[in-house]
């Protein structure tokens, strides 16, 4: 009888040891003051929300299934620090940033849910990010002013391979980018595949993204958007250098998510960003510049945009950062007919805290 009891209890005990579950609450609060002057408009002074880091909170959980396998989840919500509202125009999501469930094994990671696209600069499954301050601070000084960026995607599957000598493969598919229902969508699909490499000093990434634009409102048989991006950074010790290049084919939007009027063929454009981060006085000085040259395929009009910025970040602790930043941007004549918000200057000072 004792042998039988042990035969039953020991496997259960072993299972309970492997099936360890952990749930973590995390987030950030970031606020400051921005002075801004856009071309053709009056200067404004306003409260700045999430200039350095995103204002959000989230939950992440994992369960160890044993043998190197585990299940994980992430639920994340953004908010506006100045008024406490959800940072989404519709305000219809309990978790408007990330919401996914995944499985990890020796074959890599697979996740399902609402996930950031490869070139979105959003979330853990985006592989974009080779610039000194990416999408932080004013759009007048970050890559939004030059690049075509993708976004959060609904109904998404993401895969990340195990590391092979520093290399990883990344693949993401959305079966209905803006589709809120769970049904199988025939429209608005997203495809992305890329590769990254990391060692002690260098980081490299390249990826292709495609939006089929099927079912897009007010467009008759629009062309599919293809985005090709290459990025790299190198840490020289005394400073870190960043560079990223993108070619956009038949983009239905201009930089800063600006809508194109009656775009059936969209726009083709080249975009380049260069930046550097330098340790200084206990903190970090960052300089960044980017530009875009493009052509509206429906009208033949050419356009351009250019911006630059500088920032200083000082860590008051491991979790709290004091910062100041200024940026300036301009656009060509063809671009100026759009209310893009890319011409003018802005300066911000603020404080960010992560928990």
What CA–CA distance (Å, rounded) separates 341 from 186?
34
What was the pLDDT predicted at 216? 63
Residue 302 predicted with pLDDT over 50? yes
Confidence of residue 182 (pLDDT cuts 50, 70, 90): low
Q: Taking the CA atoms of the chain, what radius of gyration do you get in angstroms?
A: 22
Taken in order of first residue, the domains within the chain and their CATH numbers are 31-354 (2.40.160.10)
- For 154, 176, 210, 232, the CA distances from 183, given in Å and listed in that order, are 12, 9, 21, 38
Q: How confident is the model at residue 86 (pLDDT cuts 50, 70, 90)?
A: confident
H helices of the chain, where?
2-18
Q: Record the pTM.
A: 0.89
Residue 2 has pLDDT above 70, yes or no: no
pLDDT computed for residue 177 by the predictor: 77
The residues, any chain, with a CB within 8 Å of residue 285's CB and separated by 6 or more, are 277, 278, 279, 310, 311, 312
37-80 pLDDT per residue, tens: 998 899 999 999 999 999 999 999 999 999 999 999 999 999 99
Mean pLDDT of 308-322: 97
pLDDT for 199 beyond 50: yes
Show the beta-strand stretches assigned E in the chain. 21-38, 44-49, 56-66, 69-78, 98-105, 108-116, 152-160, 167-175, 189-198, 202-211, 225-235, 240-251, 253-254, 258-259, 267-280, 283-296, 302-315, 320-331, 344-354
What's residue 90's pLDDT? 72
Quick one: which of 265, 337, 258, 274 has its CA closest to 295?
265
Q: Residue range 214-237: average pLDDT?
A: 85
Task: Determine the pLDDT at residue 134.
Answer: 87
Average pLDDT, the chain: 89
């Amino acid at each position: 009888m004792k042998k039988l009891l042990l035969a039953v209890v020991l496997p259960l005990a072993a299972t309970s040891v492997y099936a360890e579950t952990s749930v973590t609450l995390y987030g950030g609060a970031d606020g400051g003051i921005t002075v801004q002057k856009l071309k053709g408009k009056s200067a404004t002074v306003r409260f700045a929300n999430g200039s350095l880091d995103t204002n959000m909170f989230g939950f992440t959980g994992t369960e160890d299934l044993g043998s190197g396998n585990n299940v994980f989840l992430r639920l994340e919500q953004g908010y506006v620090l100045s008024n406490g509202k959800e940072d989404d125009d519709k305000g219809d999501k309990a978790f408007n940033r990330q919401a996914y469930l995944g499985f990890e094994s020796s074959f890599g990671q697979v996740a399902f849910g609402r996930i950031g696209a490869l070139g979105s600069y959003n979330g853990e499954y985006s592989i974009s990010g080779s610039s000194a301050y990416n999408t932080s601070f004013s759009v007048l000084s970050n890559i939004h002013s030059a690049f075509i960026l993708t976004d959060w995607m609904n109904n998404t599957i993401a895969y990340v391979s195990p590391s092979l000598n520093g290399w990883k493969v990344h693949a993401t598919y959305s079966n209905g980018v803006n589709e809120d229902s769970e049904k199988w969508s025939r429209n608005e699909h997203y495809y992305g595949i890329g590769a990254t490499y990391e060692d002690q000093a260098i980081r490299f990434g390249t990826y292709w993204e495609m939006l089929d634009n099927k079912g897009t409102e007010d467009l008759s048989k629009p062309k599919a958007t293809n985005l090709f991006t290459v990025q790299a950074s190198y840490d020289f010790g005394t400073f870190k250098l960043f560079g990223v290049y993108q070619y956009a084919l038949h983009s239905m939007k201009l930089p800063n998510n600006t809508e194109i009027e009656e775009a059936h063929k969209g726009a083709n454009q080249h975009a380049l960003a260069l930046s550097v981060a330098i340790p200084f006085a206990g903190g970090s000085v960052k300089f960044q510049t980017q530009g875009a040259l493009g052509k509206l395929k429906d009208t033949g009009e050419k356009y351009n945009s250019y911006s630059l910025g500088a920032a200083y970040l000082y860590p008051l602790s491991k979790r709290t950062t004091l910062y100041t930043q200024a940026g300036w941007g301009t656009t060509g004549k063809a671009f100026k007919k759009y209310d893009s918000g890319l011409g003018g200057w802005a300066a911000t000072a603020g404080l960010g805290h992560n928990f």
